[in-house]
A and B are shown apart, each in its own frame.
Chain A
């Protein structure tokens, strides 16, 4: 028996007008808001706690618990900030949610704001995706015009303003405290925690920062209840997940399934590997979590099962690479990314990513040495746990995981350039015809 796909958030994505208020309402949209506004805000927090929903941005922190940390009756303004800065290499599920079903996100924002007693919410969307930005902004305007945002929403006495904020190209702003600094008009650099945002976040006021997919779950949880939600997934990883499968598979794309589905099952739904191809390595949730191989295809995709085998569910957006791909090249490219995106605040991350990248580039050119492998491990260990935020840890993750699994490949790269061992053209998803026309 295999785990069935369970389209919930994605159920109506084939309705061409789902992105409009009218189209969303036709699928039952905003009925959860009406229900929520008749509830005690604490009861909503309780329902989300009972559901066991965990943050879908990567860390998996229990959402209801996060909300309950916001002090109530403190006389300070409260804020909800939606983290829509999806930039993790491999992650591509929040942007599709915002494009296909922006009103579900907006409804979740209104309900969450009501629950945590916030009267101003911000949706911080990375600047490189104008299509997602305009669709969310359009949904906000439609909801305002319909009286779903503004003063005295649906006669409840609850007031809410929503501001859509465009980023400007900085992966670090996906880190919640860097995002808050960015939203306040500063360079996006992380803050020391504690204090946590729930106590002193945006403008030093109590703030909840939640991922797009997390917030998009809320209307369904409010409408259908915690028990319904817990039918999906496992005890520690309840619910469904918008998985995004990419790489050398026949049908890459969005697959919504209960947490606990395996990569082998997702691969099957995605049509399997492309012709003549087998899984060499795959990553369950972004380049910041350790890579796995074909021997891990049957491990349930849950927070706990991924942790048991030494990786993380992360963003739940598996990238699958076949035998044509050089792991040395893959890791080098990821480190070039972390080097580019390190905000420069912490010395180990700023300097470490520079030096790791330089040494890895030697391997890519076939000029690595055996002692370099120890050097790289040492450099990684000097970043891990020694920077303010998780970007440093993330940068120290790909190499140790890769060299543990593919040490021989790194040793080959002490004598042979990577592009000689692995002809780049073999890993392309288009044929030589597509190349020839322009190489002439």
Chain B
């Protein structure tokens, strides 16, 4: 282990009153360096936290995001939970599976892409949802999803639909260990769907009653009269 990694481990442990709480971010850190959770990584974490390897293994095998096989350069997720699936996620997954020649939880022989059917990604308003290295790629079609792979494959820059430019799986895993990655201002993560209600409210002159309750009642009434006159 490098001195830099050891220092990063110390910084993570310092966040918690009890060092054992650091086990999850430390697993993310190790995965960012090795692309999977290795026996060596489990040993290093166990030693740093004064745990048994069995205790660290028990944690790493419980959580879906910790992988016991090398993920490769890019992790590709497609939500195939009910809503995304019926809105087209199943077709998106099938198209990607054909394009990459691999199935669920498999990595291409060249180590560039790993495909996973993922569970609900908390983006149902943006279905069908795909993720690249866990960054949002919202509102996909089979053609657009394959296009994303084509561009990544050609080494072209790809922007997340709500988030930064795509980096790689290792970089995202590092963000999960050190969340303040300096990329919060990249991209335009608030999109039209997140503003859907606000947009309608503005169009129809609706607003919440203000703090002063009398004023509040007036504005409520004005909304009501406007509504009834429509």
Question: Chain B, interface size: which category?
Answer: 35 or more
- Per a CB cutoff under 8 Å, which of A7, A77, A127, A167 touches B207? A7
Contact status B64-A170, CB under 8 Å: yes
Is B154 an interface residue when CB atoms closer than 8 A count as contact?
no
A317, B197: Cβ atoms closer than 8 Å: no
Q: Give chain A nearest CB distance to B17 CB in angstroms.
A: 6
Contact at B136–A438, with CB atoms within 8 Å? no
B142 within 8 A of A: yes
The answer on a CB contact under 8 Å between B91 and A254 is no
**B113 within 8 Å of A by Cβ?**
no
> How near does chain B come to A197, taking the closest CB pair, in angstroms?
16
In the complex, are the beta carbons of A244 and B124 less than 8 A apart? yes
B38 at interface by CB-CB < 8 Å:
no
In the complex, the answer to whether B119 meets A337 with C-beta atoms within 8 Å is yes
What distance in Å separates the Cβ of A85 from its nearest Cβ neighbour in chain B?
Answer: 9
A129 x B134 contact (CB < 8 A): yes
In contact, A255 and B200 (Cβ under 8 angstroms): yes
Which range holds the interface residue count of chain A? Answer: 35 or more
Q: How distant is A89 from chain B, measured CB to nearest CB, in Å?
A: 4
A residues in contact with B192, CB < 8 Å: 253
Contact of B24 among A167, A223, A231, A434 (CB under 8 A): A167
Our pick among A94, A136, A183 for the contact of B122 (Cβ within 8 Å) is A94
Residues of A near B185 (CB, < 8 A) are 19-20, 138
Residue of A nearest to B230 (CB): A2
**A373 CB within 8 Å of chain B:** no
> In residues 172-219 of chain B, which contact A (Cβ within 8 Å)?
172, 175-177, 179-181, 183-185, 188-190, 192-198, 200-201, 204, 206-209, 211, 213, 216-217
- Which residues of chain B are near A416, meaning CB under 8 Å? none
The interface bits of chain A over 254-279 (1 if a CB of B lies within 8 angstroms of the residue's CB, else 0) are 11110000000000011000000000
Contact A13 B83 (CB under 8 A): no
Chain B residue nearest in CB terms to A128 = B134
A400 within 8 A of B: no
A88 beta carbon closer than 8 Å to chain B = yes
B63, B82, B125: the one contacting A252 at CB < 8 Å is: B125
**Of A296-304, A346-354, A423-431, the one with at least 4 CB within 8 A of chain B:** A423-431
Question: Does B151 have its Cβ within 8 Å of any Cβ on chain A?
Answer: no
Residues of chain A lying within 8 A (CB to CB) of residue B131: 128
Interface membership of chain B positions 12-28, coded 1 if the CB is closer than 8 angstroms to chain A and 0 otherwise:
00011110111111011
Inter-chain contact B206/A5, CB cutoff 8 Å: yes
Q: Mark A132-149, 1 if CB is under 8 A from B, else 0.
A: 011111101100000000
Cα A243 to Cα B162 with chains together (Å): 19
How long is the Cα–Cα vector from A270 to B125 in the complex, in angstroms?
A: 11
B59 interface neighbour in A99, A135, A185, Cβ under 8 Å: A185
Residue from A8, A20, A136 within 8 A of B179 (CB atoms):
A136
* B residues in contact with A256, CB < 8 Å: 197-198
* Interchain nearest-CB distance for A255 vs B (Å): 3
Minimal Cβ-Cβ distance residue in A for B31:
A168
Q: How far is the CA of A429 from the CA of B127 in the complex (A)?
A: 9
CB contacts (< 8 Å) of A186 on chain B: these are 20, 58-59
- Greatest chain B CB density within 10 A among A130, A223, A251, A439 is at A130
Assess the B121–A129 pair: CB atoms within 8 A: yes
In the complex, A227→B24 CA distance in Å?
43
Contact among B15, B58, B144, B176 with A163 in the assembled complex (CB-CB below 8 Å):
B15
A6/B207 contact (C-beta < 8 A), A128-B131, A133-B176, A319-B83 known: yes
**Are the CB atoms of B125 and A254 closer together than 8 Å?**
yes
Query: What is the distance, in angstroms, from B115's C-beta to the closest C-beta of chain A?
Result: 15
Contact of B18 among A166, A203, A243, A427 (CB under 8 A): A203
The answer to whether A165 and B87 have CB atoms under 8 Å apart is no
**Once the chains bind, are B198 and A14 in contact (CB under 8 Å)?**
yes
Please tell me which one of the listed residues A10, A92, A120 contacts residue B125 in the complex, with CB atoms under 8 A apart: A92
For A88, the closest partner residue in chain B by CB is B120
Cross-interface CB contact of A130 among B87, B142, B175, cutoff 8 Å: B175
Q: Does A287 contact B (CB under 8 A)?
A: yes
Is B80 a contact partner of A254 (Cβ separation < 8 A)?
A: no
Whole-angstrom distance from the CB of B213 to the nearest CB of chain A?
Answer: 6
Which A residues are in CB contact (< 8 Å) with B189? 19, 99-100, 131, 135
* Of the residues B17, B91, B179, contact of A137 by C-beta under 8 Å: B179
Task: Say yes or no: is B36 at the interface (Cβ < 8 Å to chain A).
Answer: no
Contact A8 B208 (CB under 8 A): yes
Which residues B48-93 have CB closer than 8 A to chain A? 49, 58-59, 62-66, 77, 80-83, 85-88, 90-91
CA distance A438 to B140 in the complex (A): 13
- In the assembly, what is the distance between CA of A257 and CA of B98, in Å? 43
Instruction: Tell me whether A4 and B162 are in contact (CB under 8 A).
Output: no
Q: A7-B197, A7-B201, A340-B119 are in contact. List 10 more A-B contacts (CB 8 A).
A: A6-B201, A20-B185, A89-B82, A128-B122, A133-B175, A165-B25, A185-B18, A188-B62, A333-B85, A430-B141
Mind listing 25 A-B residue pairs with CB under 8 Å? Answer: A1-B224, A4-B224, A5-B201, A5-B206, A7-B197, A14-B190, A19-B185, A77-B17, A92-B122, A127-B134, A182-B24, A228-B211, A247-B83, A251-B200, A252-B196, A254-B197, A255-B196, A255-B200, A269-B200, A287-B82, A329-B86, A341-B119, A424-B86, A430-B142, A435-B95
